[in-house]
Structure 1
Amino acid sequence: MASLIRQRREALESRFGTWPAWSLHDLVDHAAEAHPDRAVVIDDDDALTYSQMRARSRELAAGFLALGVRAGDHVGVLLPNDRQHVAVRVALSRVGATTVSLNYLYRAQELAFVLRDSGCRLLVTASGFRDLDHLAMLDEVAPGWTGGNPRSLPDLRKVVQHGVDHPERTGVPNLDDVAALGRETPPDPAVAARKVPADSVSDILYTSGTTGKPKGIKLTHDNILRAAYASAYCRAFEDGRRMTSALPLYHIFAWTEGLVASMFVGGTLITQRTFTVESTLAAISTHRASDWICVPTMAVAVLDDPAAAETDSSSLRSMMCAAAPAPRWLWDKARATFSLTELVTAYGSTELAGSVTLTQPEDPIERVVHTVGRIKHGGVAGLDGGPLARLKVTDPLTGEDLPEGAVGELRWRGPTVTPGRWSRGDDAAPTEEWLASGDLGRIRDDGYVELVGRSKEVYKSGGELVMPSEVEQLLTQQPGVSQAFVVGVPDERWGEIGWAWIVPEPGATVDVPAVIEACREKLARFKVPKQVEIVTVEQLPQTTTGKVQRHLIVEQIKTSRESSAT
């Protein structure tokens, strides 16, 4: 396998001898020239080829210009996973505008906050998503929006709709109207000749809010394209790789690691509007996906379903499962169920434009289970043709550098690091010289990174620091345990106590006393959870990207304790 992977990397290197200073639409145009009839994206309803994507995005770009959108303007994109979502963002790249990616599960006040904070001049929105009526939300938070310049959102000049799940609003232009306007508008030669700088801000992505109010992170075209190419290079993408994912495209994981990375090899992203086991298995069997990108909660749901073993998965070779730790049994079961030969995990963040470390497809399973990989080799996208980033480990309290092998906060610098947070009225909020990740880990002797947890997740019980990931790793090794989440809960005697939520395997019964006894045998006394609670997957508070919101677990436990005390 190592020889084949090396050949695939060499083939990718031969396509790009030097790093092209491209914006997103330049990459699309490059792929459209080489592979005009290949699908770039397949959604629940249809597909767009690279040539169709180029044509559609050019029409939309001309239409957006006719509506008054200009380079540097912020444009909100509130669209589900579909081909029009991709076309809109490629079109905005052509204009030189900045996409503000919006979570389609926002409620009214959340939507209003981000629109106001980001200063969006145009909003491209689905009419709704499932039971959420986005146009009704605008009625609530921005009365008069159909006429432009709503008082509550003074920056917003225009709204364009895309009919999804709810009726469109009469008198409000839709995406087909914008494309028609683009076809009817004579092209401006000056605009057509202007090159969008690769270092211009292409996206502002608002964090998922696992710990509080979302914040906008700026990313440039070059940030994202370098991160995507490095993933394609490290994972040794073959020509025309077909990837499937239900992760939302407004999130950096699906956008960089799925869509943009696949474009470097003329590949295809098979996206699902919502995650279900059935849609994931259909994408694999019907559309012949060769690669599956997911988070552990998605992988558990699919692998625990008996239908997975009955699905024709002969095309599937690879799986990338990241964003949270995955237990050993999950990797073993994925390999056994789908006969996978390339299993990888990764570490990254919005601020890093995607993943910055990766295990390699040829790595032994032990590295996939116990590490988040090594710094990605960026090839032509890396630092001097080498690593994509630099990493150092520092004391989380003092910021001082720590010796090799020590556990501390991971700090990064390199060409994929955000130029800064979006700050209303001050678009120059810079990133510090070394980006403080808030994640705790260490660099092993072999260069691979072991992630210990978030600095905010570490708690102190009886004066001793406890890292939840260490306890969770032991818990998931116990009979019948599928997933485990340990949090620190305030306690008058101990300061904080460890409280474990355990999700059993389907049909299994977890012996709680036996689990606690196993912890006592293998962990220091202060690390042993004081409480172990059995919960269902449905009880886990999650973001739309499948990340478990630990702060909400703590809040639920506190509320339950208060109710029991009264």
Structure 2
Amino acid sequence: MTSPLHRVLATAQNGLEVIRFGGLDTGEEASPYVVVERRPMFRLRRYFPQTKDIKDRPPIVLVPPMMVAADVYDVTQDKGAVGILHAQGLDPWVVDFGSPDREIGGMARNLADHVVGVSDVVSLVRKHTGQDVHLGGYSQGGMFCYQVAAYRRSVGLKSVITFGAPADSVALPLGIPVGLASKGADLLADHVFNRLAVPSWMARTGFQMLDPVKTLKSRLDFLLQLHDREALLPREKQRRFLEAEGWVAWSGPAIAELLKQFVVHNRMMTGGFVVDDRLISLAEITCPVLAFLGTTDDIGLPRAVRGIRRAAPRADVYEATLRAGHFGLVVGSSAAIHTWPTVAEWVKWHEGAGDEPVIINPMTDEPQEPVDGEYTVAQRLVNSASQAAEIGFGVAQDLVDATRGAARTTKEITGEAMRTLPRLARLGVMQAHTRMSLGLLLNEQGRRNPLGELFLFDDRVHTHAAVNERIDNVVRGFISVGVRQGSHVGVLMQTRPSALAAIAALSRLGAVSVLLQPGTDLAEAIRIGEVSAIVADPPNLADAMTAGVRVFVLGGGDERDLELANKTDVIDMEKIDPEAVSLPAWYRPDPGLASDLAFIVFTRSRGHTEPQFITNHRWALSAFGTASAASLTMSDTVYCLTPLHHPSGLLMTLGGAVAGGARIALTRTFDPSQFAEEIHRYGVTVVSYTWTLLRELVNAEDLQVQRHHPIRLFMGSGMPAALWRRVTERFAPANVVEFYASTEGEAVLANISGAKPGSKGRPIPGSATIRLAAYDVEQDRFIEDDRGFVREAQDGDVGRLLAHPRAGVELSSNEMRGVFRAGDAWIATDHLFRRDDSGDYWMVDNRNSVIRTERGVVFALPIEDALAEIDALDLAVVYGVPAGKRTLVVAALSLRLWMPEGASTKAEVKPGHLNNALSILPEGQRPDIVHVVDEIPLTTWYRPKTRALAAEGVPAAGVNCWYYDPDSHQYRRLTEAARKRVIADT
């Protein structure tokens, strides 16, 4: 009779204490500490400050997540982090961010504030102790530690230690599909957490709902044991921490930035996240890293935690795997027995005072098999459902399977089509009178995402709002100096933010940008472009002043000495106050129509300057087409290696990035070492190229690009097939998207799959309808049928590429009518193609540069593509050489500077290589002579040149020169006797 009564009384007494005080009094004391520093962002605690040998102890700084109180490291003194670390001989410090809802300006904090704050803490602890710091963080606190190490480039850090800190958003809690999560996170960041914050009760509830069955079970266990005080006391502090005391509010801007950078863009992996207006990458971490991961962790999933190995390839990364959940990694019996003693051993090991901890192992970047006790999310859901069934809810596994299947289907359906359809639809409805321009798209992106990052330059980020404000100010400056809609203004500038602002401002004004190339003779370009004034940056001012037109100076900062005294025809636009400029009544922002001329760019061909007149429609076609073919999204950062005055930089890189909502990374010059640094720091996912530009990268044997680089794609035009293979080999698993765009007309092709190096692919949706017209190359005329219409070339036959123009939206002087039927209209390009039986197009030559021999016309590009099969090949060019009254076809090869480790051949060419590679060509289409040269000349834009090689005549005999023997159908070494015979035979 007394036992049940005592049980009831004990339950009532303990329950009353819980109701009045929130829990049971355990009698435990918190670990002693002093607040060493107070800042608006944090309070810095130093634990056990009275320790006698404190100056000799290695300091360790612990960082909590934003939504968890700093006391997470001292839930119980004897089993908490700071108590154990102190007992093991360390000097523990803890960062206390406080509760943002109780701090002045706390609810306006963002991620960068926390990263900069922790970096300041590292500096303060170093100042107080005179030692470098071991920096540790739990969950998001661990993410802060990674970012601080990158921000500081590991200066002042002995090591970084994290607990359940995810680095890769490829594995999200509860198995949420990444694509679906990205869209949801973007929506929440832009429309919810920019206005709202998360109070402490919501953070607590969200954590508990990750495993509702476990939460319910623990509460039932507590109630059922409420009579047994001694059984409850050992876990009471931990229970109170989780149930009430351990949670703090979460500021809205910080949540929004976390969702954007980690979930939407996965910048922890790719790099390019912004802290205090600086671009940083985890690839810059060089100090040792120890990552603790829990096999039953629902938040820091093992796969996500192990992402740090790929994100920080320059660091020595170790892992310690525990059978624990997210909270159990840092609090509880498992943490007391395993986590914190191992941390102490790790610190002593790196201080040279102990051995390597037993339970740690070097983290590998290979897929890991689940260890004992590690559940997949699906298994955990089934397990939770089974537990729920035991207490009466009856959830079947079929529901779990159906949910997983639905999520997978949703991901597949909402992928590529949802991104590309709006772009293609916009192209499809575009007419001559449709408003369209670069300025218009920038304005639209700015309204849609004003604080979004638009372009990166010199390690700095520029937002849409800032860029559009700069553009509008430059517009006012142009108006004040007399530039009007339709004016032709030359742009003579290096790659810099002001160049982008000038081009965009002219577009917003409705003027025409005539893009001039620095360092060239400007007279012809100014005459062709009908330039009335030039906008130049300071480095190009001297050349601009010799052009005989008005000059406007833009960029270079406010403090500069341009020495413009008495220069009435030179105006410094940076001195113009935009607020003082009254906008005229005729000004309408972004008035450009699709049919309006927008840009004039120049190329050099056969020694002449050739203009390309680009309408807004032509620019939009390249912009939207590139964005669609390259699948550009707001998560991409496009690295522009070519200057903005180059057609590929203007049309493809700038245009594609703006149309796709991606970030643009500009670089002053192309340098392999700078490239290696910036692709990681900027988080570059797409790299633009032209012709053989990327050759400098693959030829750099010591290029410091890490194995797990962020690049997913190279896009451009003109890349030789041999270089294509080397690029995909060097930067695997990145792919190549090769474009072709006709100079006139709207023919745009893209090899999207990358499966056929050298192929130009197929027409992109939204571009012009194209056809291959049957063409007699020798007679340089179309082949007609018996009615006089042009025949279409069959698959495998060489034909001339024609594009069907859209009325009113494209300027052309090559328009033909009555081609395939009466009254039709086509624009003829100068390029000869063949189409294979899969529908892919292969360029074979330009009709003006085919090699004419006594055996007929020989095409250069098929020979170059065939030679690309030789492993040792660097570049190949084919050209004609006069020999007597006839012409020899000569192929010049340059060889690779080095072969990759493990290659089966040396960087050399033998006759057998030539025979194997060229055997796929008809005999009449094979080169007469093949020889190796030291270097193949290139143009400024990295296009191979043949004129100088051809001027050298028939190659000299030698060990690296071969001729085709028609009798044996083999290539043989070209001796002096054979050379004479070849020349005589011609």
Judge same fold: TM > 0.5, yes or no: yes
| TM bracket (short chain) | 0.7 to 0.9
Structure 2 partner of 1:564: none
Select which of 411, 419, 441 maps to 2:833: 441
Q: TM-score, normalised by structure 1?
A: 0.81
Q: Is the 8 A contact 1:21 1:222 kept in 2?
A: no
Matching of residue 299 in structure 1 with residue 694 in structure 2 = yes
- Aligned residue for 1:255, secondary structure, equals helix
Aligned partners of 2:501 and 2:708: how far apart in 1? 29
Q: 1:471 to 1:68 in 2, by over 3 A?
A: same
- Confirm or deny: 8 A CA contact 1:243 1:269 kept in the other structure: yes
Alignment correspondent of 1:241: 636
Identical columns (%): 19
- Equivalent residue for 1:210? 605
CA drift of 1:392 comes to 3.3
Confirm or deny: 8 A CA contact 1:37 1:49 kept in the other structure. yes
The counterpart of 1:92, out of the listed 481, 506, 527, is: 506
Distance apart, 1:189 and its partner CA: 3.8
1:44 Cα offset (Å): 3.5
* Counterpart position of 1:398: 781
Distance 1:416 1:389 in 2: 13
Q: Which residue of 2 aligns with 1:371?
A: 759
Match of 1:118 among 508, 513, 529: 529
Structure 2 counterpart SS, 1:305: coil
Query: Distance between the aligned counterparts of 2:461 and 2:645, measured in 1?
Result: 19
SS in 2 for 1:226: helix
2:738 aligned partner: 345
**Kept in 1: contact 2:489–2:512 (CA 8 A):** yes
1:174 lines up with 2:572 in the alignment: yes
1:366 alignment partner, SS class = coil
Of 469-478 and 94-103, more deviation after overlay is shown by 469-478
Matched, 1:273 2:695: no
Pick from 232, 238, 241: which aligns with 2:627?
232
2: CA distance between counterparts of 1:473 and 1:514? Answer: 17
Secondary structure of 2:491's match?
strand
Give the match's secondary structure for 1:99.
strand
Match of 1:532 among 910, 930, 934: 930
Corresponding residue of 2:897: 506
The 1:513/1:234 distance shift into structure 2, 3 A limit, reads: closer
Equivalent residue number for residue 467 of structure 1 = 859
- Contact conserved, 1:226 with 1:416, CA < 8 A, in 2? no
Matched, 1:62 2:464: no
Secondary structure of the residue that 2:571 maps to in structure 1? coil
Matches within 5 A, 1:452-463: 452-463=844-855
Distance 2:589 2:833 in 1: 47
The one-letter code of the counterpart of 1:272 is T
Over 3 Å counting, the alpha-carbon distance change for 1:417 and 1:289 in structure 2 is: farther
Bigger shift: residues 334-343 or 550-559: 550-559
- 1:372–1:430 distance in 2 versus 1, CA, 3 Å: closer
SS at match of 1:420: coil
Is the 1:347–1:358 contact (alpha carbons within 8 Å) kept by the matching residues of 2? yes
Alpha-carbon distance in 1 for matches of 2:909, 2:621: 48
Work out the CA distance in 1 between the residues paired with 2:948 and 2:563.
36
Q: Is the 8 A contact 1:392 1:411 kept in 2?
A: yes
Q: Does 1:316 align with 2:711?
A: yes
Matched, 1:335 2:728: yes
Structure 1 residue runs of 5 or longer lacking an equivalent are 129-133, 143-149, 151-155, 422-428, 562-566
**DSSP-derived class of the 1:215 partner:** strand
One-letter amino acid matched to 1:412: A
- In the alignment, is the contact (CA less than 8 A) between 2:508 and 2:590 conserved in 1? no
DSSP-derived class of the 2:694 partner: helix
1:270-307 CA-to-partner distances (Å, cap 9, x unmatched) read 12222221222223111001111113522222123234
Contact 1:12–1:265 (CA under 8 A) maintained in structure 2: no
CA displacement at 1:524 relative to structure 2: 4.9
Q: Tell me which structure has the larger Cα radius of gyration.
A: 2
1:497 to 855, 875, 888: 888
The structure-2 alpha-carbon separation of the partners of 1:442 and 1:479, relative to structure 1 and needing over 3 Å to count, comes to closer
Q: CA deviation at 1:162?
A: 4.5
Matched, 1:188 2:617: no
Deviates most, 335-344 or 90-99: 335-344
- Secondary structure of the structure 1 residue equivalent to 2:614: strand
User: How far 1:59 moved relative to its partner?
Assistant: 0.8
SS in 2 for 1:191: coil
Return 5+ residue gaps in structure 2 as ranges. 1-178, 180-408, 783-789, 817-824, 899-905, 958-986
Q: Deviations over 1:537-563 (max 9, x none)?
A: 4x4131x322223345434559999xx
Q: Using a 3 Å threshold, how does the CA distance of structure 1 residues 549 and 435 change in structure 2: closer, same or farther? A: farther
- What amino acid is aligned across from residue 500 of structure 1 in structure 2? A
CA distance in 2, matches of 1:290, 1:61: 32
Contact kept? 1:321, 1:346, Cα under 8 Å: yes
Cα distance, 1:218–1:168 mapped onto 2, change above 3 Å = same
Give the drift of 1:415: 4.6
Supply the AA of the counterpart residue of 2:874: S
Residue type of the alignment partner of 1:203: F
Q: Which residue of 2 aligns with 1:146?
A: none
What corresponds to 1:413 in structure 2? 804
Structure 1 residues 251 and 9: alpha-carbon distance in aligned structure 2, compared to 1, 3 A threshold: farther
Task: Note the alpha carbon deviations across 1:117-150, whole angstroms, 9 max, x for none.
Answer: 222111012343xxxxx444456x54xxxxxxx4
User: Superposition RMSD on alpha carbons, in Å?
Assistant: 3.3
The answer to whether the Cα contact below 8 Å between 1:100 and 1:203 also exists between their aligned partners in 2 is yes
- Give the match's secondary structure for 2:500: helix
1:196-224 deviation per Cα after TM superposition (whole angstroms, max 9, x unaligned): 32321111122x21323122222211221
Q: Secondary structure at the match of 2:587?
A: helix
Greater mean alpha carbon deviation, residues 9-18 or residues 272-281 = 9-18
The structure showing larger relative contact order (alpha-carbon pairs under 8 Å, at least 6 residues apart) is 1
**Aligned counterparts of 1:559 and 1:337: Cα–Cα separation in 2:** 33
Q: 1:250 aligns to what? A: 645
8 Å CA contact 1:245–1:280 kept in 2: the answer is no
Q: Which residue of 2 aligns with 1:8?
A: 416
> Is this contact kept in 1: 2:637–2:686, CA < 8 A?
yes
